[in-house]
Amino acid sequence: MKLKASYADLIDLTDSSEDFLPTAASKRSLSRNSSSSNYVITKVVDIEIGKREIDSLSGHNCLNDAIIEAFMKTFCDGKKVFVLSVVLATKIYEHGSINKLRRNFTGYQYVAGPVFIKNSGPKLNHWNLLFVSLETNEVTFIDPFEASKDKCEKVRLNWTNFCKTRDDLKEKTWTISKYSFDHSKQIDGYSCGVFVCYFFEQLVTNKPELLKQIGPLDKYRNYIKSKIMKCKEL
């Protein structure tokens, strides 16, 4: 799957509410009956996207895991990036222990996924990004509000612990990327998922200098929608 359109190419698109609690996107099966309130509109690899997910890309709605993971998977080209589900990425963030991930990462450039932090302070539920370069051995953890150095170090240690259980990664030494701190900051209470998608795109396309230039969020929401809809298979 090769999708060449960029944010700049699609910035003039027009747009079309869903809570952003994780929905176990890759395991969910939506109704294909058009009378359903959340019938399937498109599918990206193994993730079905329903009407409510697409509608969440308008206004001030929060994004759920299906939208974020599907968007990330539109950038999978050969073995460039392995996208972790929110369940796996959050487990690595929390304690670095995963028993079910058997994929060999040899040949991949990056491993990335959305991290879901429930009841995170006054803003309650909150999306973060885990992004690891297997080429530079750098761990990037981005909290759209801003992550502390202590939190990023915790993530680095937990990723290191995860790698120690794997033959393909156990010999590597990991450092914290400067991009964990050098990025645009979220100032509202509902756009964290949009920021996570944007940060992921800039890192996976090797344009980290753009991490501080997110621009109008409504236009980036339109771009996310367009990228996902270009994968329409139904």
Work out the average pLDDT over 154-182: 95
- Rounded CA separation 221/217 (Å): 6
| N residues, the chain | 234
Q: What is the DSSP string of 55-86?
A: HTTSTTPPP-HHHHHHHHHTT--TTSEEEPPH
The mean pLDDT of 205-228, rounded to a whole number, is 93
Contact 25, 85 (CB under 8 A): yes
For the chain, what is the radius of gyration of the CA atoms?
17
Terminal CA-to-CA distance of the chain, rounded, Å? 16
The answer on pLDDT for 212 being more than 80 is yes
* Domain 25-229 is found in CATH 3.30.70.1230: no
For the record, the structure tokens of 53 come out as 């997910």
Q: How confident is the model at residue 13, as a pLDDT?
A: 29
Two structure tokens written together for 2: 């090769």
In terms of DSSP bridges, do strands 40-44 and 138-142 run parallel, antiparallel, or are they unpaired? Answer: unpaired
Residue 60, pLDDT > 80, answer yes
Instruction: Copy the structure tokens of residue 9.
Output: 């190419």
Structural contact between residues 173 and 137, judged by C-beta atoms closer than 8 angstroms? yes
Give me 14's structure tokens.
């027009």
Q: From 10, 17, 66, 15, select the one nearest 43 (Cα to Cα).
A: 66
Lowest-confidence segment of 19-23, 136-140, 188-192 by average pLDDT = 19-23
| Integer angstrom CA distances of residue 65 from 68, 124, 165, 180 | 5, 16, 27, 21
Q: Looking at per-residue confidence, does 207 or 78 come out higher?
A: 207
Model confidence at 207, pLDDT cuts 50, 70, 90, reads: very high
* Structure confidence at residue 196 (pLDDT): 98
Tokens read off for 33 = 């009956």
Chain center to CA of 25 = 13
Instruction: Check whether 111 has a pLDDT greater than 90.
Output: yes
pLDDT given for residue 20 in this prediction:
46
**Exposed/middle/buried for 56, CB within 10 Å: 0-12, 13-18, 19+?**
buried
- Break the chain into its structural domains and give their ranges: 25-229
